[in-house]
Amino acid sequence: MFDFAELSFSGFLIIGINILFALTVIFLERRDATSTWAWILVLFFMPVIGFVLYLLLGRPLRQKHLFRWDGRKDIGIDKLIHYQMDAIANDTFQYRNPQIEKYDEMIFMQLRNNDAVLTQDNSVQVFHDGVDKFEQLVRDIEQARDHIHVQYYIFKLDQLGQRIYRALLKKASQGVKVRILYDEMGSRTTKRRHFNELIAAGGEVEVFFPSILPLINPRMNYRNHRKIVVIDGKIGYIGGFNVGDEYLGLKSKFGYWRDTHLRLQGSAMHPLQTRFILDWNQATSTNTIHYASRYFPIIPRQGTVSMQIVSSGPDSNFEQIKNGYLKMISMAKRYIYIQSPYFIPDQSFMDAIRIACLSGIDVRIMIPNKPDHMFVYWATYSYVGQLLEAGAKIFHYDRGFIHAKMIVIDDEVCTVGTANIDLRSFRLNFEVNAFIYDRTISHHLAELFESDMLDCSELTIERYHNRTLLIKMKESVSRLLSPIL
């Protein structure tokens, strides 16, 4: 028999706790108004569910300066940052490609606020197909001589994951230092014990923000969404592909997987290596990486591509990658091409796109035509529908699932990395992007976008206005929840 007094007490207790959470959201956390109202609605209209959701998703990250590494001074990054900032401010910086000088405000912003040094001697190889990307990655792993640093949000030990793991295991048995860092929430089915053979061979494996209790992780937000590989300090990878069979197009749910990833060579390896070491040292208390010249070798000039490696995350007061996106959009003169699997922008991003459209700039946005996460899909649909009114062109990718995170403007500047156009990437996850100032690479990415349009259907304003009542309801609910998705 139910004890109604006990049930009533439990109900009042949950409501009381929810009120305390709501007061915390309003008065202590200083969230933006949209996010604050979303949490208040969830806490009061879904008391029990809201209570659990807040514990798992709502609490802010209290720790600041999560990523520290004394080795920065040994590789001279701090001195280089100050030199580049002073030179740009005094108009004395030597750009090897004078065409990018018009973007010196953007370069200075990334330097000043993100310690993103500009490197000007890189070569870049673009991958848009998982088979090609992972074939090249395995070849590079097989050629490694000193160390291999691997970091993925998702590292599944399925067919693809086993192939990469076996290649890494072989190199570890040959004396190459292998380190793997993965995110626990992204890699839910992967456990550290699955790498025991690699660890026995001298490799090291760490987990970002692991669970305190089995099956319970109080940090469902604040995940490390970065994808980085650095081999011998000379070859690097950055982009959207994780490790799993779906990224080869082997899962029927998604079909062909369209993503964008970069293989880098040149001085950009130093900031990319630094990013990996910072993440690695945060995740470990026993296997800390200390500065050694082997991780930062002298690299002969590899090419002429200029770039900055930009990181963002909840450890910063500024939304670094989003700010880079906004700066790019504001500087566009002819066109803006955007690919993102999730498009749930904040008001500043929406305003920037609207202003670009109203200024006569050709704005094209490509999103998936298949849902990865249902609420996110319908929230995305509502936001792009709103931009149709301003003149943006919206394309649904029909061939499979598009996971690329790419923006290119005017055949001059582009960015590829891990950050989606959504509040989670802007504020909650740890992300990393390459911002590239190069006409050849930018033009190539624009051509890929235009080629992808052949596999798309356009969402016209007429088609959007004729959507069903059910779709409108899905949009409304999803948009209401979008600040906490």
pLDDT digits (tens, 9 = 90+) for 372-381: 677 788 888 8
Pick from 28-32, 192-196, 250-254: least confident: 28-32
Neighbours of 215 (CB within 10 A): 6
Residue 4's pLDDT is: 44
Q: Is the pLDDT of residue 279 over 50?
A: yes
pTM for this entry: 0.86
At residue 78 the predicted structure's pLDDT band, cuts being 50, 70 and 90, is confident
- Residues 220-230 have pLDDT tens digits of 678 999 999 99
Catalytic residues: 225, 227, 232, 403, 405, 410
Give the sign of the dihedral formed by CA 103, CA 108, CA 113, CA 117: positive
Pick from 60-69, 300-309, 393-402, 428-437: least confident: 60-69
Half-sphere exposure of 85 (CA within 13 A, CB side): 14
Amino acid at 336: I
- Residues 89-145 have pLDDT tens digits of 999 999 999 989 999 999 999 999 999 999 999 999 999 999 999 999 999 999 999
Residue 221's pLDDT is: 75
In the three-class reduction of DSSP (H, G, I as helix; E, B as strand; rest coil), residue 306 is classed as strand
Give the sign of the dihedral formed by CA 375, CA 380, CA 383, CA 388: negative
Q: What percent of the chain has pLDDT over 90?
A: 68
Cα–Cα separations (whole angstroms), residue 438 to 81, 114, 244, 292, 435: 21, 21, 31, 32, 10
Pairing of strands 305-312, 406-409: unpaired
d(C-alpha 281, C-alpha 87), whole Å: 32
Residue showing tokens 């197009």 = 249
Neighbours of 399 (CB within 10 A): 15
d(C-alpha 268, C-alpha 122), whole Å: 7
Pick from 180-184, 276-280, 348-352, 372-376: least confident: 372-376
Q: Is the pLDDT of residue 54 over 90?
A: no
Please provide the average confidence, as pLDDT, over all residues in the chain. 87
Higher pLDDT, 444 or 10: 444
d(C-alpha 75, C-alpha 80), whole Å: 9
Amino acid at 364: R
d(C-alpha 387, C-alpha 378), whole Å: 15
Neighbours of 266 (CB within 10 A): 24
**Cα 20 versus chain centre, distance:** 33
Joined together, the tokens standing for residue 175 give 């004396």
In the three-class reduction of DSSP (H, G, I as helix; E, B as strand; rest coil), residue 281 is classed as helix
Find out whether 58 and 428 touch, Cβ atoms under 8 Å. no
d(C-alpha 419, C-alpha 406), whole Å: 9
Cα–Cα separations (whole angstroms), residue 318 to 104, 112, 426, 453, 484: 20, 12, 9, 34, 19
**Cα 253 versus chain centre, distance:** 23
Residue 336's pLDDT is: 98
At residue 24 the predicted structure's pLDDT band, cuts being 50, 70 and 90, is low
Q: What percent of the chain has pLDDT over 70?
A: 81
Residue 7's pLDDT is: 47
Q: Is the pLDDT of residue 77 over 50?
A: yes
Residue 1's pLDDT is: 46
d(C-alpha 404, C-alpha 414), whole Å: 13
Pick from 3-7, 137-141, 203-207, 401-405: least confident: 3-7
Pick from 190-204, 336-350, 367-381: least confident: 367-381
Find out whether 254 and 371 touch, Cβ atoms under 8 Å. no
